[in-house]
Amino acid sequence: MHLANFQSLLGIALILAACWAFSENRSAFPWKMAIGAILTQIVLVVALFGVPLIRSGVAGVGVAIDGLSMSTQAGVAFVFGFLAGTPGQPYPLTNPGALFVFGFRVLPIILVVCALAALLWHWKILKWITQGFGVVFQRTMGLRGPTALAVAATVFMGQVEGPIVIRAYLEKLSRSELFMLIAVGMACVSGSTMVAYATILRDVLPNAAAHVLTASIISAPAGVLLARVLIPRNPLTETAEDVAGTEKEKAYDSSIDAIIKGTGDGLQIVLNVGATLIVFVALVAIVNAILGVIPPIGGAPVSVERILGYIFAPVAWCLGIAWNEALRAGELLGVKLVLTEFTAFIRLGAIPVEELSERTRIIMTYALCGFANIASIGINVAGYSVLAPDRRAEVISLATKAMLCGFFATCMTAAVVGAMPDALFNLG
């Protein structure tokens, strides 16, 4: 093992120690779950990247995403013409790279994936996959059936959409389970955003789609573990209960109805993502303008990004990133927490290949792949206010803590990946 691998192991230990220090019951540390969660992450990473047959299958995800991206662009070009970046611009090109417009190249993919997800759910394919993962979480993490199903659904559907499958059961969840669902939702991403992130990174990170997919799946056990550490399970309030009869799933009248409703849901996500990015980037620009009155420090102007970089650089180092790249990686972590992970992925994808090592890009992909950001606090409060209105005040009291839990869950996932042998990812 190299020094960087030991850095990652230290990072895992520090994250667990920090969550234990702020636990509501330090004497109830779930040792068995901690061992099981980390082993589950390791086994999944080794299987997905170390077993040739599975690795080939996961690599095929990248091919599928490329095909999905090209198909989406055909629809975008039909509606927006040359503005979509397709050939046929009515003017000479001096900067072809400027044709990559986020609003035309990434956001439309969310629409298409949401429509496909609704169709796959109507055909019961996505439902079977979700239930399969639910059984895995139930058996390996000791979760009750409904909670395990909701955690599994969150991995594919998103932080608010996932709990819908057990909407009728949400009022019965213990405080620990409710906190865990919110935290896991912030530790993972939805299927639609997975594809978007892979699209952003595909030119700077080999096998980007496989890493993004793996990141969202293996962050779920980390989210469950850290949530249980912060707010331990109370056996008296969590009795075994089967999932049967607790589901209130999305229903579609036909395949066409699924596509139309899925597109409508996707439109809401696209509008939310686009509006959030505009507002948060604008707010940071305002703050940077104010900080501009401060004289340059170290030959560079003072900015929110630089401040966040210095704050989170030690965290990035603990994930297994070399110190000479830790400042830039720390900046991305801070941007993810303050400006959303979309902004962080865009900035990661914009860093030239020669300016950041592949190992750092891989680790940061896992660290950034989660919804843990300030905007998600409002999204969860709004979502759960509809799903479980009687628990709105409780959700408000838990949301900020859940965001930090989700943030450290993705960091823990990144540290686990950083502790793995470089050869597993074909790194030199």
Model confidence at 240: pLDDT above 60: no
DSSP per position, 355-389: GS-HHHHHHHHHHH-S--SHHHHHHHHHHHHHH-G
* pLDDT tens-digit readout, 24-60: 998 889 888 898 889 989 988 888 888 888 877 777 7
Helix and strand element counts for the chain (H, E): 17, 0
Query: Residue 253 pairs with which residues in a beta bridge?
Result: none
Model confidence at 182: pLDDT above 70: yes
- Count of CB atoms situated within 10 Å of the CB of 257: 14
- DSSP-derived 3-state class of residue 346: helix
Angle 72-280-308 from CA coordinates, rounded to 5°:
110
Distances (CA, A) of 193 to 107, 182, 189, 198, 345: 9, 18, 6, 8, 11
The pLDDT assigned to 159 comes to 78
Query: Residue 300 pairs with which residues in a beta bridge?
Result: 297
Phi, psi dihedral angles at 205 (to 5 degrees): -135, 115
Alpha-carbon distance of 164 to 383, in angstroms, equals: 10
> Helices 341-350 and 191-201 sit at what angle, rounded to 10 degrees?
20
- DSSP-derived 3-state class of residue 245: coil
Alpha-carbon distance of 149 to 137, in angstroms, equals: 8
Phi, psi dihedral angles at 320 (to 5 degrees): 110, 20
- DSSP-derived 3-state class of residue 185: helix
Mean pLDDT along residues 334-348:
88
- DSSP-derived 3-state class of residue 78: helix
- DSSP-derived 3-state class of residue 19: helix
Alpha-carbon distance of 286 to 272, in angstroms, equals: 21
Angle 416-131-265 from CA coordinates, rounded to 5°:
90
Ordered by start, the domain boundaries in the chain are 3-425
Residue 254 is given by DSSP the state: S
Alpha-carbon distance of 179 to 34, in angstroms, equals: 18
pTM of the full structure: 0.84
Mean pLDDT along residues 206-214:
86
Q: Which pLDDT band holds residue 98 (cuts at 50, 70, 90)?
A: low
Q: Which of 40-54, 176-190, 227-241 reaches the highest mean pLDDT?
A: 176-190
Q: Which two tokens stand for residue 8?
A: 């990652």
Do 163 and 379 meet the contact criterion of CB atoms below 8 Å apart? no
Mean pLDDT along residues 375-400:
85
Mean pLDDT along residues 206-216:
86
Work out the mean pLDDT of the chain and round it to a whole number: 83
**Exposure class string for 15-50: b at 16+ Cβ within 10 A, else e:** bbeebeeebeeeeeebeebbebbbebbeebbeebbe
Q: Which pLDDT band holds residue 249 (cuts at 50, 70, 90)?
A: low
Of the candidates 197, 226, 185, 180, the one whose C-alpha atom is nearest the C-alpha of residue 368 is 197
Model confidence at 371: pLDDT above 70: yes
Mean pLDDT along residues 243-271:
74
The pLDDT assigned to 90 comes to 72
Distances (CA, A) of 132 to 137, 142, 153: 9, 15, 10
* pLDDT tens-digit readout, 289-325: 898 888 888 777 888 888 888 999 999 999 999 999 9
